[in-house]
Amino acid sequence: MRNIIHIAAKDLRLRIRDKSVFIIGLIAPLALAFIFNTVFGGAFGDDGTFAPALGIVETNADQTNSTLERITSQLGGTWQTFADPAAAEAALDDGDVGAVFVVPDSFDADLAGGQIGEIEVLGAIDAGTSTQIAAGIARNYTNSLQTTQVAIASAISAGGDPADIIPAAIDATDQSLISLGEVDADVRQLDTNTSTVAGMAMFFLLFTAQTGLLSLLEERRDGTLQRILATPTRPASVLAAKSIVSIVLGVFSLLVLIVAGIVLMDAKWGNPLGVALLVIGGVLAAVGISAVTTGMAKTPEQAGNIQGIVATVLGLLGGAFFPIGQNGGILAQVTALTPHYWFSRGLSDLAGGQPASAAFGAVGWLLLIASVTSAIAAILSRKQISP
């Protein structure tokens, strides 16, 4: 046991001395979280809720675009009207709006004649999310108008009263557009800033967690592992020491990110005990996965490459970059196999002042991932630990 502590202490000293752990564990995830926050920032409000700043170019004052305005209002966003496209582009450049609808002058006339005009969307280059949302609204708006036309025509030809049919059809159109903004209840509970920091934290945790284990391959390459194994130190003790270093660095990295998230990005993590349990579960799962990838490699470089691929794939599947699981289908199933998903899920479960017990389910899944991967790693690492 004493030798485990001596080896772990030496490794921690070396990692702190070469400063790599600070870059991987702190600077990189914080920087990326800031970048993500900036990208999404045009579409989300100070409290992290969805709030796009949209506008419309109205060159034909006779047209009413109340539906588009109402949708934007109901989404919690702001709305501006521009007299011409040049004014709209200036506002986009200044960052006053994220996207602007440009409705053709003949839109209403075309509609009356049974034609659907094309609504153009102008977007700010640094507000991609708002632009995509605006484009989606415009596309669905025109699609639904087309559907409404067909429905009204069918109802009238079937003998219906136009005075009743038309208002009902228009109301149905509005409702279908508004439903575009609905998202899965599990994810909705976690505000955007917290979700962004959590995703980045788990993504980079896989790199931080590998740091300790990677030194096993480095020591093997450099000959110091052979020398350690020639001392009264059991091979399992070396493996335990490396795992402890990974766990310590992972917990430290996550805790600092959590604090930084609160201070810098107003992240809301929830019940501290629940968060602590999630941190431990998340770190153990990340260390388990890292142990598997390290166990598969013959050199530190190879292990780093494998880990990069695994971390990226798991990050994508786990929703570290965007909520892929919300697309449903097989992705919704696969995302549940990643620690990223359960870490974010656990934080979501804690949101809104829930007690620590709300995260028990997610913590359980994280520990299950840790157990399975550790068992696999124990088999794989036998080669690494032999001189």
Partner 1 sequence: MTAVMVAEGLAKSFGDLQAVDGVGFSINEGETYGLLGPNGAGKTTTISMIAGLLEPDEGEVRVGGDRISPRAVTPKRRMGLVPQELAIYPDLTARENLEFFGRLYGMGGVGLSQRADRVLEVVGLAERQKDLTKEFSGGMKRRLNIGIGLLHSPELLILDEPTAGVDPQSRNAILEAVEELSTAGIAVLYTTHYMEEAERLCDRVGIIDQGKIIAEGTRRELVEMVGEKDRVSITGTGPVAEVVRKLSSTVGVAEAGESESGVTLLVEDSSSHLAAILSTAAQAGMVVSGVEIEQPDLEAVFLHLTGKALRDV
User: Which spans of this chain sit near partner 1 (rule: CB under 8 A)?
Assistant: 2-3, 6-7, 10, 13-14, 17-18, 222-224, 226-235, 386-387
In whole angstroms, how close is the CB of 306 to partner 1 at the nearest point? 25
Measured distance CA(257)–CA(203) in Å, rounded: 12
Instruction: Give the residue with the Cβ less far from partner 1, 234 or 383.
Output: 234
Instruction: Give the residue with the Cβ less far from partner 1, 164 or 222.
Output: 222
Q: Backbone phi, then psi, for 351, in 5-degree steps?
A: -60, 155
Measured distance CA(255)–CA(224) in Å, rounded: 32
Instruction: Give the residue with the Cβ less far from partner 1, 17 or 330.
Output: 17
In whole angstroms, how close is the CB of 292 to partner 1 at the nearest point? 24
Closest residue by Cα to residue 248 from 293, 209, 292, 301? 209
Instruction: Give the residue with the Cβ less far from partner 1, 7 or 275.
Output: 7
Instruction: Give the residue with the Cβ less far from partner 1, 205 or 225.
Output: 225
Q: Backbone phi, then psi, for 207, in 5-degree steps?
A: -80, -45
Is the CB of residue 21 less than 8 Å from the CB of residue 212? Answer: no
Cβ-Cβ contacts under 8 Å for 313 (sequence gap 6 or more): none
Q: Residue 39: how many CB atoms within 10 A of its CB? A: 14
In whole angstroms, how close is the CB of 231 to partner 1 at the nearest point? 4
In whole angstroms, how close is the CB of 385 to partner 1 at the nearest point? 9
Instruction: Give the residue with the Cβ less far from partner 1, 112 or 230.
Output: 230
Is the CB of residue 52 less than 8 Å from the CB of residue 134? Answer: yes
Question: Which residues on adjacent β-strands are paired with residue 57?
Answer: 82, 102
Measured distance CA(75)–CA(174) in Å, rounded: 13
In whole angstroms, how close is the CB of 219 to partner 1 at the nearest point? 9
In whole angstroms, how close is the CB of 236 to partner 1 at the nearest point? 9
